[in-house]
Structure 1
Amino acid sequence: MSVIKQDSILLEQLKAGCEQAFAEFYAKYRKYLMVVAVSLLNDEMEAQDLVQDFFIDFWQKQLFNRIDPAYHKGEGELMKNYIHRIVYNRCMDRISQRRSQQQKIDDMPAPDISCPPENRMEAMEWQRQLSYTLQAAIAKVPPLSARVFELSYIHRKSRHEIAAQMGVSPHTVKNQLVRAVRILRAQLKKG
């Protein structure tokens, strides 16, 4: 049976809500999508997260329903082309985010050590106030989320390092980090 025919049957099963079809889809395309993501991002961990998020979205948001074999006749491996495009676009978005973050860092003014003492005192006071405000906001974050935030942003550990240290899954670390950042943003906007 041709790849096109196999994908057509797999697509029909996915649209019928067959979990076994999703398991087959995952097994068939995971390695391929990892190769695509790693080749673009040059970071295996980030690629793994991106591909995992894609599969979650593909099933939960039923992205397979957007594939219309009648519309794409003659385009070869319809399923592979569709998922390749999604993962490629997500990788390009990540690369764009990286560039944007790096540009913000590059645009930050360098500290002027030759500034007058009164300005240095003012800067130190501002930094002390900022530290106090941040500590007060962190105190309002649940303990697990706060610990994950501290390990990630203060100790600069990766998700997988944090997961190993805390004995939880990297996905749990990601969820706790998102939770902590959301709460901190809300707290800091109030202050």
Structure 2
Amino acid sequence: MQTSEDTAMLSALKDNNLDAYQYFFMKYYKPLCVKACQMLGDMEKAKEMVQGLFIEVWRTGAYRKIDHSPGGFFYQLVCQECSHLQAYTERQKVQCPPCKTGPALIPQALHPQLLV
């Protein structure tokens, strides 16, 4: 639910007001971290990812695309980023196929004639 304060802050945000952006960061950071942690299973990764999203949105000016629901906008970004991270992690978990060189050779003692 969007309050009148959210509406005023969204209007200020579109005028590049950093205080308005900080307002939305403070309001949504913790709930977004909880959502990301549920999806990723790691709170530290979740915090890092959410902070990175906020930085990227400010740096690229993507906040100008928010039409009516800043919370929905950020939740959608978090879900997309978590999906990308999960897919990347799954690709990294693919195991190396077993070697087909046969059993390992066990070292044998040298014949006494070769020791000379």
1:107-122 matched pairs, under 5 angstroms: 108-111=96-99, 112=101, 114=103
Q: Which runs of 5+ in 1 are unaligned?
A: 70-77, 117-191
Matched with 2:111 is none
Structure with the higher helix share, 1 or 2? 1
TM-score, L = length of structure 2: 0.79
Matched with 1:79 is 70
Larger-Rg structure: 2
CA shift digits 1:6-48 (9 cap, x unpaired):
2221111111111111111111111111111011101111111
Contact 1:33 1:84 in 2 (8 A): yes
TM-score, L = length of structure 1: 0.50
Matched with 2:109 is none
Contact 2:24 2:70 in 1 (8 A): no
Matched with 2:83 is 92
In the TM superposition, structure 1's runs of 4+ consecutive aligned residues that sit over 3 Å from their partners are: none
Does residue 54 (structure 1) correspond to residue 53 (structure 2)? The answer is: yes
1:1-191 matched pairs, under 5 angstroms: 3-69=2-68, 78-103=69-94, 106=95, 108-111=96-99, 112=101, 114=103
Moved more, 3-12 or 56-65: 3-12
Specify which structure has the bigger relative contact order, considering alpha-carbon pairs within 8 angstroms and separated by 6 or more residues: 2
SS at match of 1:65: helix
Q: Which runs of 5+ in 2 are unaligned?
A: 106-116
SS at match of 2:76: helix
Contact 1:15 1:65 in 2 (8 A): yes
Give aligned-pair identity as a percent: 25
Distance in structure 2 (CA, Å) of the matches to 1:4 and 1:101: 43
Q: How many aligned positions are there? A: 105
Contact 1:11 1:64 in 2 (8 A): no
SS at match of 2:16: coil
